[in-house]
């Protein structure tokens, strides 16, 4: 499969989530109730109601039940159950209170250029933890100064930065969320401008703080400067930088580490045949192209606690013929699982500028479902998931183990609390901080 365009039309029939024992047992009944709740009194719902009424006819002492009253009872019964979206999930020794997670989203707000988070980052991340997210993942955090996307990126390349993260991590956890961090090397997409320095979408000039970028092969991204091809010794040094950054993340108190191997940054560039033209052990066929990712995975897994979950974010397709696709993603995900990865964070795109992406609600969910079912590894889904019932349905149908709410969370830090109300949770069941109970939805 070249570009993933036909994924949604080529999904295998879903295995029962209840049979796997991985989801709350609210399956088809909840699907039907969702349709009833949304005003769909179709033929299937009528058949269910008729069967229930006929069953009652066999009991002489039972009164007749109308379809209208039966649906009302069913609706209330479903509301009494915990939605799949708000069931906890445990990976290794870490339990997230629900399946609504905040994905890493770059804010380019380390304005001093030192990689240290600021009071802005405290407010941004802790407010989402207070808002009820089960896991809060801090944005792409560079493993070296040259691994930054912009000069305003966060970083964990020195010990001074560890202390700057600790207060944020501690209060994310205090608010009941799991604290995660995404480690990244930007590769050819580094040294970009940002809203604070200008040069948006372009390479930052050296006299403004820019630097020479590196990549598997000297192929520029769009209008950006051409990167320098990495030597093998430099590749080994980058593995060491990921390892050291992971050790610092543990000291900062993070409970989960995510490796960024998506969106056209360095590890993604090595994976993709359109950006990796190498003929050595880090190029060529798939086994050469995923070599660096596996080395980084092994390096991090070797220095973090056995009880600590490790995630990898991937782009399941680059949406370009002849490039990275779903089949390669699935094969890589299988290997990542063998190397100690606990969850694959499934996204798409970002490698090439100007490609056509069929953006619509749930457009990336089928990729998550395919990786989950074929690689047999937990996954997340992301991409225009904005409504509570929509998000709950993704988890309930086994298309992902958690749902990431991105842009909607930028608009509403309390999205999970609003969703809990929409899905029928009481204020005692929803992830409210006690100070906010008087304002419960």
Question: In whole angstroms, what is the distance from residue 334 CA to residue 286 CA?
Answer: 13
Q: Which of 108, 125, 199, 265 is catalytic?
A: 265
Please state whether beta strands 154-155 and 343-347 pair in parallel, antiparallel, or not at all (unpaired). unpaired
Exposure on the CB side of residue 386, measured as CA atoms within 13 A:
9
CA distances from 41 to 37, 67, 255, 365 (A): 9, 10, 45, 27
Q: CA 286 to CA 46: how far, in whole Å?
A: 52
Largest CA distance in the chain: 89
Q: Where are the beta strands (DSSP E) in 285-427?
A: 310-315, 343-347, 379-381, 402-404
Helix H or strand E encompassing 214: strand 214-215
The SS3 of residue 280 is: coil
**Of 189, 188, 208, 206, the residue nearest 198 (C-alpha):** 208
Task: Give the Cα separation of 105 and 432 in Å (integer).
Answer: 24
With tokens 């000069």, the residue in question is 151
Question: Is 265 labeled as catalytic in the residue annotation?
Answer: yes
Strand partners, 402: 380
For the annotated catalytic residues, the residue numbers are 265
């Amino acid at each position: 499969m070249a570009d993933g365009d036909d994924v949604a039309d080529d999904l295998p029939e879903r295995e029962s989530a209840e049979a796997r024992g991985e989801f709350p047992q609210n399956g088809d009944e909840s699907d039907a109730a969702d349709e009833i709740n949304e005003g769909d009194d179709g033929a299937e719902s009528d058949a269910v109601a008729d069967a229930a009424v006929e069953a009652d006819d066999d009991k002489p002492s039972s009164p007749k039940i109308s379809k209208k009253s039966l649906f009302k009872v069913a609706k209330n019964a479903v509301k009494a159950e915990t939605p799949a979206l708000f069931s906890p999930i445990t990976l290794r020794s870490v339990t997230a209170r629900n399946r609504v997670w905040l994905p890493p989203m770059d804010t380019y707000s380390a304005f001093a250029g030192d990689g240290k988070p600021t009071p802005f980052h405290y407010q941004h991340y802790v407010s989402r933890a207070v808002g009820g997210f089960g896991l809060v993942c801090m944005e792409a955090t560079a493993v070296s100064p040259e691994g930054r996307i912009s000069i305003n990126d966060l970083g964990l390349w020195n010990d001074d930065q560890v202390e700057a993260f600790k207060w944020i991590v501690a209060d994310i956890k205090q608010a009941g969320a799991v604290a995660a961090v995404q480690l990244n090397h930007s590769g050819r997409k580094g040294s970009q401008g940002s809203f604070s320095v200008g040069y948006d979408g372009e390479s930052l000039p050296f006299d403004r703080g820019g630097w020479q970028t590196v990549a598997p092969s000297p192929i520029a991204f769009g209008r950006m400067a051409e990167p320098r091809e990495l030597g093998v010794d430099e590749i080994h040094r980058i593995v060491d930088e990921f390892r050291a950054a992971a050790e610092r993340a543990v000291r900062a108190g993070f409970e989960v580490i995510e490796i960024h191997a998506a969106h056209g940054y360095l590890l993604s560039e090595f994976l993709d045949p359109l950006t990796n033209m190498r003929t050595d052990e880090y190029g060529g066929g798939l086994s050469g192209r995923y070599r660096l990712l596996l080395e980084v995975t092994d390096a991090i897994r070797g220095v973090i606690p056995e009880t600590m979950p490790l995630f990898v974010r991937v782009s399941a397709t680059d949406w370009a013929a002849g490039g990275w696709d779903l089949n390669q993603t699935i094969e890589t995900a299988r290997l990542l699982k063998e190397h100690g990865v606990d969850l694959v964070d499934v996204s798409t795109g970002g490698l090439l500028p100007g490609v056509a992406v069929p953006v619509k609600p749930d457009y990336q969910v089928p990729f998550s479902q395919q990786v989950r079912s074929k690689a047999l590894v937990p996954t997340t889904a992301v991409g225009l998931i904005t409504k509570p019932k929509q998000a709950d349905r993704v988890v309930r149908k086994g298309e992902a183990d958690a749902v990431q709410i991105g842009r909607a969370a930028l608009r509403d830090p309390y999205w999970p609390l609003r969703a809990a109300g929409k899905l029928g949770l009481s204020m005692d069941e929803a992830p409210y901080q006690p100070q906010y109970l008087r304002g419960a939805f």
